Amino acid sequence: MIQKKFKIGIDARMFSDAFTGIGRYNFELTKRLFEQTSFKGQPLEWVIFLNDPQYSAFEFPAHVKKVLVNAGHYSLAEQIKFWWLLQKERCDLVHFSHFNLPLLYSRKFVVTIHDTTISFYPGKKMNAWWRKLAYRLVILHAVKASKQIITVSEHTKKDVIKLFKTNFNKINPIHIAPSEEFKVVGDKEIEKLRLKYDLTDSFLLYTGNWREHKNLVGLIEAFAVLKAKAMLKDLKLVITGKEDPHYPEVRKAITRLGLTDSIKLVGLVCLDDLVGLFNAATLYVCPSFYEGFGLPPLEAMACATPVVVSNAASIPEVCGEAAVYFNPHDPADMASKISDLLKDEPRQELLKSKGLKQAQTFSWNLCANQTLEVYKQAL
């Protein structure tokens, strides 16, 4: 009797050992999933679909087959070339780690929907009608044709149900987690970081990209209110992330409010420096209007930094009682909550302790185990 062999594919065209986004999701998840060599008591072969340069840069265990795709997201090659490669592999199940998948693919699949940001905040890159139509077609197909859906929060599950009228029983919220690199570091590392970026004063930290839903302009306006207070005149704001030419409002707000000398735009930083910045910051601030999960506040907590965050979307679900909350639509409220915490050192210490415990409740191992259970439901 021929033994059944399961074949599970992972769409990891967004694959990276960098510290944020879907690329990191793929990296952390596959690292744990690929430890599995059997499924439902039968031998298991994995197939990972990659673009270059990741295809050439990363190696995997012997029971994992690499397939070179070289088809970008939202591209014609994704719809034709990638579909053909998927057909050739004839996987029992494919896990698409983002909702972009070939519309013609009809075999069994699971999809992860990290957020529905574009539905609420399409941004300037999605202003063409055909882009909006393509997004709607692709995500609707992903939702309707999938055997199971993974979301990274309960909040995103609710959004998927509301937006796409989906059966809630096939949606599985599975939290992601801070990577192990985010941790408390020693005074020498922090001092080295301070010297590198000339951070001699107390500073607030923001990390992430520059898009409308991130509410960076609101943060800058709140910071201007803080700087007007005599006791906070030396306070700095450090903003990481690649400057987005589609959002010149960020630099314009800094100039308009006379904050050029008080706000440091440090660009994209390496992982070690990011961890150092989290550790060195007096407070971490997350001003977002919308997040599908909101990982940076947890990364700050794992570095024992107090966090002050928006009370919107999934953020309260993730941060629990380990954060101070503000209304992201009200810069005055944001400034007030930050100011109150800056003046309250005992509360800062309490939040550091609570934050460390909160960050430890999230685990990539748990995420992988729960993902495997979803595969079993889909097959």
| 41 in the same domain as 152 | yes
pLDDT of residue 282: 97
| 373 in the same domain as 354 | no
Give the residue ranges of DSSP H helices in the chain: 21-33, 54-57, 76-89, 117-120, 129-145, 154-164, 187-197, 216-227, 249-256, 271-280, 295-302, 315-319, 331-342, 345-360, 364-378
| 226 in the same domain as 273 | yes
Q: What Rg do the C-alpha atoms of the chain give, in angstroms?
A: 22
pLDDT of residue 2: 55
DSSP 3-state of 111: strand
Residue among 272, 298, 73, 356 nearest 176 (CA): 298
Domain count, the chain: 2
| 108 in the same domain as 38 | yes
| 286 in the same domain as 192 | yes
Angle in degrees, 0-180, between the axes of helices 187-197 and 271-280, rounded to the nearest 10: 100
Residue among 81, 218, 192, 327 nearest 226 (CA): 218
Q: What's 103's domain CATH number?
A: 3.40.50.2000
Phi, psi torsion values for 79, nearest 5 degrees: -80, -30
**Is 77 contained in some domain?**
yes
**Is 182 contained in some domain?**
no
| 368 in the same domain as 355 | no
Tell me the longest C-alpha to C-alpha distance in the chain: 81
8 A C-beta contact, residue 240 and residue 278: no
| 219 in the same domain as 198 | yes
**Structure pTM?**
0.94
pLDDT of residue 244: 87
| 305 in the same domain as 164 | no
Q: Which residues contact 299 (CB under 8 A, 6 or more apart)?
A: 178, 179, 182, 207, 278, 359
**Is 137 contained in some domain?**
yes
pLDDT of residue 292: 95
**Is 367 contained in some domain?**
yes
pLDDT of residue 277: 97
| 14 in the same domain as 157 | yes
pLDDT of residue 3: 59
**Is 1 contained in some domain?**
no
Q: Which residues contact 221 (CB under 8 A, 6 or more apart)?
A: 253, 257, 331
**Is 129 contained in some domain?**
yes
What range defines the domain where residue 86 resides? 6-177+363-378
pLDDT of residue 167: 87
Residue among 42, 41, 20, 16 nearest 31 (CA): 16
Kindly list the strands in the beta sheet with 236-240, ordered across the sheet, starting from the edge strand earlier in the chain. Answer: 263-267, 236-240, 203-206, 283-286, 307-310, 324-326
Q: Tell me the mean pLDDT per 10 residues along the chain, length 379.
A: 81 84 92 95 96 94 96 90 97 96 96 93 74 86 97 97 92 96 95 92 93 96 91 92 90 96 94 95 97 96 98 97 98 97 97 98 97 96
| 163 in the same domain as 29 | yes
| 237 in the same domain as 154 | no
Which tokens belong to 140? Answer: 């609707």
**Is 86 contained in some domain?**
yes
**Is 161 contained in some domain?**
yes
Which tokens belong to 173? Answer: 């919220």
| 370 in the same domain as 352 | no
